[in-house]
Amino acid sequence: MTLEQQLSQQRVKHIVSSYQLDGTETEAFATYLSDLLQTYASPLLELALTETIVAHWLSVTLPRGTSFLTDVHALLKRWEVETIASTLTPNQFQQITGLDPSPVFGSSELPPPSIVQPR
The beta strand positions in 74-119, using DSSP E, are none
**Sequence-distant contacts of 103-110: CB under 8 A, at least 24 apart:** 103/8, 103/11, 103/42, 103/43, 103/46, 104/43, 104/44, 104/46, 104/47
Q: Quick one: pLDDT band at residue 10, thresholds 50, 70, 90?
A: very high
Q: pLDDT of 26-65, one tens digit each?
A: 999 999 999 999 999 999 999 999 999 999 988 778 899 9
Q: What is the pTM of this model?
A: 0.84
DSSP 3-state of 85: coil
Residue type, 31: T
